[in-house]
Amino acid sequence: MKSLRLLLGALLVATLPLHAEDKKPAATTETKDNVKNVTVDEAEKLVKEKKALVLDVRTPEEFAKGHIPGAKNVDFNDDNFVKNVGALDPKTPLLVHCGSGGRSTQALPALKDKAVVYHLKNGFSAWEKAGKPIETGEKK
């Protein structure tokens, strides 16, 4: 019985660092040098004022079902993703998003040469949930 308690204690101690890493850091709007995380309201302001090109990195099928008005669709899963975003003007600020933030976060390294990148936290689902305007249709 003592051996079992020692084993369980050792396992508990061994997993403590894992649990500590699971905790998210305090919320911040800044990420890498050229990336700023933005809320839905901040993103809407950027769209309305035409201060950024909206870069939607979801699939064409997702994009066609609904997207931020004026968005450009460049599928993160496309084999030519890096080449396609590399062709975008590096001086043009980008508002990048996907469905919920995962793919767009993974896309950020490919956007490191862009002047300014705004990353929509929680993605298009947050935009939609907030009741912001959407349009439907094919890839732009």
> How confident is the model at residue 2, as a pLDDT?
52
Amino acid in the structure at residue 87 = A
Decide if pLDDT at 20 tops 70.
Answer: no
Structural domain spans, the chain: 26-129
* Segment 40-80, tens digit of pLDDT: 999 999 999 999 999 999 999 999 999 999 999 999 999 99
Q: Which residue, chain included where needed, has tokens 């935009």?
A: 127
- Could you tell me which residue, 71 or 14, shows the higher pLDDT? 71
Options 1.10.3210.10, 3.30.470.20, 3.40.50.620, 3.40.250.10; CATH for 26-129 is 3.40.250.10
Residues with Cβ within 8 Å of 73's Cβ and at least 6 positions away in sequence, in order, are: 56, 57, 58, 60, 63, 67, 139, 140
> How confident is the model at residue 30, as a pLDDT?
43
Mean pLDDT score of the chain: 82
Residue 137 banded pLDDT, cuts 50, 70, 90: confident
Decide if pLDDT at 11 tops 50.
Answer: no
Contact 117, 123 (CB under 8 A): no
- Could you tell me which residue, 133 or 15, shows the higher pLDDT? 133
The three-point CA angle 6-10-14 to 5° equals 175
> How confident is the model at residue 138, as a pLDDT?
72
CA–CA distance, 134 with 93 (Å, rounded to integer): 21
Most distant CA pair in the chain, distance: 68
CA–CA distance, 136 with 91 (Å, rounded to integer): 28
